[in-house]
């Protein structure tokens, strides 16, 4: 999991993906026939194959949720905006790093002993919070940061429990790591690996890339919600950790291509690859704009279950990730043998 570790610890809040993009270029270079970055910032890695086989776009987004500095107060504390969907409840006391210099900061709010009883049961909104970088004045803070700087959660990657991994931005650095694994394998299928930008703020990069590349079909790799925890009803788990990669039937932005879904299920069952269906239709991902591009592109999504996504730290099981890679490799091999959606 060396690649996932490095990707997780890199910072790439939506709109500021260059650090992640640089790292992925380093990993992808030995397996690329062509590599370029478009005007929006998508990294497109093409691997030539048999021209008689359909070109397959495999996509994962580089960006993560985070913050942007909006204002520096006279006392040196920083106000901020949220970039992407973040629950305000996970923000207080989170440690962040800001800008290119990775200035350390802590998100603060009015302490509970200074709150009125009427405030105790209310969620503190993010616009009532601030980031403390240890500056004592506006002038001191301006020497370190400026409005418009991005702030990412400062979370160290690590192992925990039985084959589980913790880190930040598994949505969707897990998908990026899967793409890199697929690129490094031996396939004759023409591959268009796209590491997209700005998914967390409107699924933006994938639409541009799909229009440019014109693939015959597409697979999107995601890190998806896993809510198999106490206080959650089983039907609301969405996915369950350890039960394999999750195949989506539909979500808010797309209905998966039934031919691709059926083939994924068939291959998993025939080859004893554990899998599950994503049991929620909430949210969306890059499959949404991809499948609507040009005349339409047959598209499906395979996800790694991740607990606590869109927060400072997520948890996934390594076997779910590995089985996701295995399932995609089987799918590409089936295209080589003649499968067409």
What is the model's pLDDT at position 281?
86
What is the model's pLDDT at position 109?
87
CATH of 2-64+168-336, one of 3.40.630.30, 3.40.630.10, 3.30.70.3280, 3.90.930.12: 3.40.630.10
What is the model's pLDDT at position 108?
94
What is the model's pLDDT at position 233?
67
| Cβ proximity of 128 and 138 under 8 Å | no
What are the residue numbers of the active site? 199
Tens-place pLDDT, residues 119-170? 677 888 999 999 999 999 999 999 999 999 999 999 999 999 999 999 999 9
Could you say which residues of the chain have pLDDT below 70? 112-116, 118-119, 231-236
Domain ranges within the chain, ordered by starting residue: 2-64+168-336, 66-153
What is the model's pLDDT at position 1?
78
Name the β-bridge partners of 220.
59, 301
In whole angstroms, give the CA distance from residue 185 to residue 277: 26
What is the model's pLDDT at position 283?
87
Tokens read off for 252: 């808010």
Side by side, the strands of the sheet bearing 164-167 are 158-160, 164-167, 314-317
Tokens read off for 274: 């554990």
Q: What is the CATH number assigned to the segment(s) 66-153?
A: 2.40.30.40
């Amino acid at each position: 999991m060396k690649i996932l570790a490095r990707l997780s610890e890199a910072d790439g809040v939506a709109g500021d993906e260059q650090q992640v993009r640089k790292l992925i270029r380093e990993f992808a270079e030995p397996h690329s026939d062509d590599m370029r970055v478009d005007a929006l910032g998508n990294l497109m890695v093409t691997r030539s194959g048999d021209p008689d086989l359909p070109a397959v776009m495999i996509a994962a987004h580089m960006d993560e949720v985070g913050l942007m500095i909006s204002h520096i107060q006279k006392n040196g504390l920083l106000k901020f905006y949220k970039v992407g969907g973040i629950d305000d409840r996970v923000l207080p006391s989170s440690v962040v790093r800001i800008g290119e210099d990775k200035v350390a900061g802590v998100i603060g709010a009015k302490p509970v002993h200074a709150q009125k009883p009427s405030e105790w049961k209310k969620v503190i909104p993010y616009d009532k919070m601030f980031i403390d970088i240890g500056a004592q004045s506006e002038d001191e803070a301006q020497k370190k940061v400026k409005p418009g700087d991005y702030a990412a959660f400062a979370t160290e990657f690590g192992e925990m429990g039985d084959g589980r991994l913790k880190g930040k931005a598994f949505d969707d650095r897990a998908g990026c790591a899967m793409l890199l694994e697929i690129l490094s394998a031996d396939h004759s299928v023409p591959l268009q690996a796209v590491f997209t930008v700005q998914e967390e703020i409107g699924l933006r990069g994938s639409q541009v890339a799909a229009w440019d590349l014109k693939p015959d079909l597409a697979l999107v790799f995601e890190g998806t919600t896993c809510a198999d925890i106490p206080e959650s009803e089983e039907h609301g788990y969405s996915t369950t950790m350890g039960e394999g990669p999750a195949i989506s039937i539909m979500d808010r932005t797309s209905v998966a291509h039934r031919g691709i879904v059926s083939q994924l299920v068939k291959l998993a069952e025939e080859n004893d690859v554990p899998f599950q269906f994503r049991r929620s239709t909430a949210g969306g991902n890059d499959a949404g704009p991809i499948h609507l591009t040009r005349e339409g592109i047959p598209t499906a999504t395979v996800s790694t279950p991740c607990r606590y996504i869109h927060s400072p730290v997520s948890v996934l099981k390594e076997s779910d990730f590995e089985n996701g890679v295995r399932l995609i490799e089987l799918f590409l091999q089936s295209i080589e043998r003649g499968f067409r959606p």
